[in-house]
């Protein structure tokens, strides 16, 4: 029996050796790996039962498509049992005023082996973990972190470009409120030779905690408003949506949403051997700008999807495989 629970709360906790091991195990359990070579039916048969007898709880206090489905599907494919509350804010006793600590204390007494939580506030999961008898996995905490997303992001970079060091990475969009870029910056800082370039509308710049961390770690980074210039040297362009739900009143969505967009024009400036990533969701809706009546669409134009460098749907699929490997690691099963 392990004495210490393997909580997954903060991307800081991962070191390069852990990533290497996790990614090797991810590579070995992909359906396109040998012996399945893309035979998904056979792959599912072989995966099933690897974690049978284990129980996962999944509590989501914020909306989610990829993170929730990939976690729950990963558990299903490995033969775990899953109990889920997809709208836990409304359909748990939090709506009656219960604290999340009390809820998790009780839920963990029902003998789950893992509790996956997407929380609506940053920095609360450590306190919740203190009362849990099962490992807690952070599936995104407000404007805080998204450690498992950063794992699949790093895996995607490794898988697509073959390395995690000596890279120039442009991160763009809402860097202030987006949690994926925060966790990813922590992980990229752990590998030598990486340079980070931040491109954000005014008011949505990367917060000082990350920049101070990068300075302490002597990681090269700079901030610019010149997207065209930044992307031409990038190995990775990591784009993100404006986090409309987290904007402070001083920032007007229509103003910031129109500032930077990735279209085929921007793609044309990227190196032939580079990748365009996005954690998704991208914003689909257009809106009419009251100032000039122009219709704005999204931060990442659909016309980019057919370019081989557009890695975001492969990135999202990798989330399933990385989370399968992560569940096995958390449960101590190789």
Q: Which residues are catalytic?
A: 66-67, 96, 118, 146
- Judged by CB under 6 A, does residue 145 bind ligand NCD? no
What's the burial of 64, exposed, middle or buried (CB within 10 Å: 0-12/13-18/19+)?
middle
- Judged by CB under 6 A, does residue 274 bind ligand NCD? no
Site track 71-110 with ligand NCD (rule: CB under 6 A), x = hit: ----------------------------------------
| 276 strand-pairing partners | 237, 310
Least separation in angstroms between residue 283's CB and ligand NCD is 9
Whole-Å CA distances, 127 to 105, 124, 228, 283, 296: 11, 6, 43, 33, 42
Number of residue whose CB is nearest ligand NCD: 279
Residue with the two structure tokens 């404006």: 242
For ligand NCD, the closer CB: 43 or 275: 275
Query: Counting runs of H as helices and runs of E as strands, what totals does the chain give?
Result: 13, 11
Least separation in angstroms between residue 160's CB and ligand NCD is 17
For ligand NCD, the closer CB: 43 or 139: 139
Site track 162-191 with ligand NCD (rule: CB under 6 A), x = hit: ----------------xxx-----------
Whole-Å CA distances, 242 to 116, 175, 176, 189, 261: 25, 9, 9, 24, 11
Q: Which residues of 98-113 are buried (b: 16+ CB within 10 A; e: fewer)?
A: eebeebbeebbeeebb
Nearest to 52 by CA among 76, 31, 29: 76
What are 26's two structure tokens?
């991810």
- Judged by CB under 6 A, does residue 278 bind ligand NCD? no
**Contact between residue 199 and residue 170 where contact means Cβ atoms under 8 Å apart:** yes
Nearest to 266 by CA among 255, 256, 278: 278
Least separation in angstroms between residue 280's CB and ligand NCD is 5
- Judged by CB under 6 A, does residue 280 bind ligand NCD? yes
- Judged by CB under 6 A, does residue 301 bind ligand NCD? no
For ligand NCD, the closer CB: 50 or 156: 156
Neighbours of 162 (CB within 10 A): 7
Site track 114-143 with ligand NCD (rule: CB under 6 A), x = hit: --------------------------x---
What are 132's two structure tokens?
């849990």
For ligand NCD, the closer CB: 31 or 279: 279
Tell me how many residues contact ligand NCD (CB under 6 A).
12
Footprint of ligand NCD (CB under 6 A): 66-67, 140, 146, 149, 178-180, 240-241, 279-280
């Amino acid at each position: 029996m392990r004495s210490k629970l393997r909580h997954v709360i903060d991307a800081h906790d991962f070191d390069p050796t852990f990533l290497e091991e996790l990614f090797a195990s991810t590579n070995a359990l992909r359906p396109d790996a040998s012996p399945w070579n893309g035979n998904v039916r056979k792959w599912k048969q072989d995966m099933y039962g690897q974690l049978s007898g284990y129980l996962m709880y999944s509590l989501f206090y914020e909306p989610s498509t990829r993170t929730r489905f990939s976690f729950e599907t990963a558990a299903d494919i490995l033969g775990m049992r899953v109990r889920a509350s997809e709208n836990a804010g409304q359909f748990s006793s939090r709506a009656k005023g219960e604290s999340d600590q009390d809820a998790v204390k009780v839920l963990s007494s029902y003998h789950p082996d893992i509790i996956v939580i997407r929380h609506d506030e940053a920095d609360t999961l450590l306190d919740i973990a203190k009362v849990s008898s099962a490992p807690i996995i952070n599936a995104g905490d407000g404007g805080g972190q998204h450690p498992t997303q950063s794992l699949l992001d790093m895996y995607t970079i490794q898988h697509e470009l073959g390395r995690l060091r000596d890279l120039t990475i442009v991160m763009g969009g809402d860097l202030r409120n987006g949690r994926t870029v925060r966790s990813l910056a922590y992980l990229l800082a752990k590998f030598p030779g990486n340079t980070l370039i931040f491109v954000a509308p005014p008011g949505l710049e990367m917060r000082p905690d990350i920049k101070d961390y990068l300075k302490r770690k002597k990681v090269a980074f700079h901030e610019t408003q010149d997207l065209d210039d930044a992307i031409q040297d990038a190995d990775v362009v990591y784009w993100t949506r404006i986090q409309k739900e987290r904007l402070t009143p001083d920032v007007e969505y229509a103003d910031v949403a129109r500032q930077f967009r990735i279209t085929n024009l921007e793609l044309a400036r990227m190196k032939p051997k580079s990748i365009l990533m996005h954690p998704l969701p991208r914003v689909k809706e257009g809106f009419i700008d009251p100032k000039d009546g122009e219709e704005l669409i999204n931060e990442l134009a659909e016309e980019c999807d057919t370019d081989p460098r557009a890695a975001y749907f492969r990135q999202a699929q990798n989330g399933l495989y990385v989370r399968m490997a992560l569940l096995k690691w958390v449960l101590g099963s190789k």
